[in-house]
Amino acid sequence: MSIGHTLLGLLESGPRHGYDLKRAFDEKFGHDRPLHYGQVYSTMSRLLKNGLVEVDGIEAGGGPERKRYAITEAGITDVQQWLATPEKPEPYLQSTLYTKVVLALLTGRDAGDILDTQRAEHLRMMRILTDRKRKGDLADQLICDHALFHLEADLRWLELTAARLGKLAQEVRA
């Protein structure tokens, strides 16, 4: 995820302080990985330097000055271009799990055990996500669906690999 673009997008609704941006980010996108304050301020500094935001006001208080940031026209254009650019699909061609299966076969270990252990871990995570989805709002349901669909694809791969394990063992040991 592009933190900078996300913060710019949040600024399109109006100027905000760094604290407000962090809170909005965490509420909408950071359920599992909240943003650190330092990351917000370093990102805002970079966006300011690049002309994508401007300081809309400075408030003095009991602590450090609070800057209020506003998105610039260049920032709006940048967000629009980012939103219009499709994400590169991740083909997962260098899978750690595949590497473990092949190494198990090469070293005489039981690759089936690795697949079974991984299947159990995937199913455990699917149960957690399904429970979270059941209790969550629409945004949480959609993000859980995304993760669940990826886990389902992984499970299909695990089953296919288990079915082909004998032939794979012959090929990697040849």
Q: What's the pLDDT score for residue 95? A: 81
Is the model's pLDDT at 89 over the cut of 80? no
Range of the domain at 104: 96-173
Which are the contacts of 11, defined by CB distance < 8 A and separation ≥ 6? Answer: 21, 53, 69, 70, 71, 75
Token digits of residue 23: 């809170």
- Please tell me the distance from the alpha carbon of residue 155 to that of residue 120, in angstroms, as a whole number: 10
Examine the pLDDT at 1 and tell me if it is beyond 70: no
> Is 40 domain-assigned?
yes
pLDDT of res. 113: 94
pLDDT digits (tens, 9 = 90+) for 97-119: 898 999 999 988 999 999 999 99
State whether 29 and 59 are in the same domain: yes
Stretch (H or E) spanning 6: helix 3-11
Say what the pLDDT of residue 18 is: 92
Average pLDDT, the chain: 91
What 3-state class would DSSP assign to 110?
Answer: coil
Number of domains in the chain: 2
**Final residue belonging to a domain, choices 84, 116, 139:** 84
Q: In the chain, pLDDT over 70 holds for what percent of residues?
A: 97
Q: Which residues pair with 16 in a beta bridge?
A: 69
Tell which of 61, 84, 107 closes a domain. Answer: 84
Of the candidates 50, 84, 118, which is a domain's last residue?
84
- What's the pTM? 0.71
Residues 106 and 163 occupy one common structural domain: yes
- Are 76 and 14 found together in one domain? yes
> Can you give the pLDDT at residue 174?
83
Which pLDDT score is estimated for 28?
87
Residues 59 and 18 placed together within one structural domain of the fold? yes
- The answer to whether position 90 is within a domain reads no
DSSP letters, 19-83, are: HHHHHHHHHHT-SSSPPPHHHHHHHHHHHHHTTSEEEEEEE--SSS-EEEEEE-HHHHHHHHHHH
Query: Which CATH number characterizes residue 33's domain?
Result: 1.10.10.10
Cα angle at 90 between 88 and 104, to 5 degrees?
160
What per-residue confidence (pLDDT) applies to 93? 62
Helix 111-135 with 138-163: angle, nearest 10 deg: 160
Q: Over pLDDT 90: what percentage of the chain?
A: 74
Task: Dump pLDDT digits (tens) for 34-67.
Answer: 899 999 999 999 999 999 999 998 887 767 778 9
Q: Report yes or no on 91 lying in a domain.
A: no
